[in-house]
Amino acid sequence: MQERLEHDSMGTVAVPADKLWGAQTQRSKEHFPIGVGLEPMPTEIIAAFAVLKKAAAITNHRLQPDRMPQEKCDAIASACEEIRSGQWADQFPLVVWQTGSGTHTNMNVNEVVAHLAAQRLKQSVHPNDDVNQSQSSNDTFPTAMHIAATLIAEDRLLPSVERCVETLRRLEQENAGIIKAGRTHLMDAAPIAFSQEISGWRSSLERDARMLQLALEPMYELALGGTAVGTGLNAPAGFAEGAAAEIARLTGKPFVTASNKFHALTSLDEMVFLHGAVKALAADSMKIANDVRWLVSGPNNGLGEIRIPANEPGSSIMPGKVNPTQCEALTMVAVQVMGNDAAVGFAASQGNFELNVFLPVCAYNVLQSLRLLADALDSFTQNCLAGLTADQERMADTLQRSFMTVTVLNPYIGYENAARVVQKAQAERITLKEACVALHLLTPERFDALYRPEQMV
């Protein structure tokens, strides 16, 4: 393998000749062989860095053109756009498990951008003095986290939730008028319209979407401009505001500079708040998926009240078996999100003095949760909910066999007498009507007039 020599403030390092990174990236690559190939720094973080580096160059040129001349700004911006598009993905080899400030990834981006820009200019571009001008890893990594998480949440997760909501809204309309047994504590309960049950699922997701949108508001505040400890050392006046405005222009999102950079560098409360909303969505997704697999269970020896698409064989030994696999995938993702929430919370609690040094692990877990839930909800919607149908005959049968429909008689015979009717019907395996008549509580004609389960919803 051919190599070239790169240097940094600590000396000279041999780097593969065909790579665009420099000495600091190579040092990290050699010193942190943790999860290599399995847990690289998320691509969304790299893309977010490309956005903020371009924004920084443009802002630096406007505020101090002597230090950032137009041609150098253009070369840096062009390199950043290529990175943002994924063109140089193989030039970012570093893993999540590195320095807790994310400095190695910041320098990885600086070095690659500097190399690409130098190729265009045919002159030297310095990763620190030029690409990292007016910045520090301590303000760039939190900024990249906010950009990346906001983009995934707004552009991927929220649309996935809305597609699921629209499908549920259609199912409500299609199943209007179908009455089925309700269940509480996994036991028979008063009747409910199937459309009402579906509306509960829909409303849960709509509320989750609103909470996500609320949690995104503080994510729009960016740490960029705080530099090393929040004081803005070595950044010109107006840099923080200008860079945030440029990031907003580049992304189409309403990013602004954080009002307090000392908070922005050391606290991850915005990430905790966002992930809390994601966890709420995961909890409701778990509930909905579990409801679906309970309702489809059997189908002959379970509830069997609905049918879902038969997407693939469910067993390697039992022919004809079909399982609620989309439900299982979504619930596994929900479990992962809930586990991630613990990691995010612990990471956020580890801010010491002027910096939190658990940034990469926080970013890794938040972005994974956003990504997984977006994909899982889309798969569940397309491959399960979209083809869900009610087995009306089965629903009518389970409703007829539910003794909890006796509740409608409470105003006429009283709670305790209604309980006696249920107990007698269960013990003697007779109908509610037969038990009522046998206990001399209602005549057959009066029972028929009062007992209307379809009117109980």
In angstroms, rounded to a whole number, what is the distance separating the alpha carbons of residues 227 and 129? 14
What does the H/E/C string look like for 269-302? HHHHHHHHHHHHHHHHHHHHHHHHHHHCCCCCCC
Residues 286/182, Cβ–Cβ less than 8 Å: no
**pLDDT in the model for residue 455:** 84
**pLDDT in the model for residue 119:** 97
Looking at the whole model, is its pTM more than 0.85? yes
Q: What is the maximum span of the chain, computed from C-alpha positions, in angstroms?
A: 102
Say if residue 67's pLDDT is above 90.
yes
DSSP annotation string for 328-389: HHHHHHHHHHHHHHHHHHHHHTTEETTEES-HHHHHHHHHHHHHHHHHHHHHHHHHTGGG-E
Cite the active site residues: 185, 315
Q: What is the pLDDT of residues 361-415, one digit of tens each?
A: 999 999 999 999 999 999 999 999 999 999 999 999 999 999 999 999 999 999 9
Q: Which of 261, 258, 266 is nearest to 230 (CA)?
A: 261
Q: What is the pLDDT of residues 124-183, one digit of tens each?
A: 999 999 999 999 999 999 999 999 999 999 999 999 999 999 999 999 999 999 999 999
> Inter-axis angle of helices 23-31 and 103-121, to 10 degrees?
150
| Residue tagged 């009283």 (tokens) | 414
In angstroms, rounded to a whole number, what is the distance separating the alpha carbons of residues 39 and 222? 26
Q: What is the pLDDT of residues 292-309, one digit of tens each?
A: 999 999 999 999 999 999
**CA torsion sign, 169 to 170 to 176 to 181?**
negative
Q: What is the pLDDT of residues 257-303, one digit of tens each?
A: 999 999 999 999 999 999 999 999 999 999 999 999 999 999 999 99
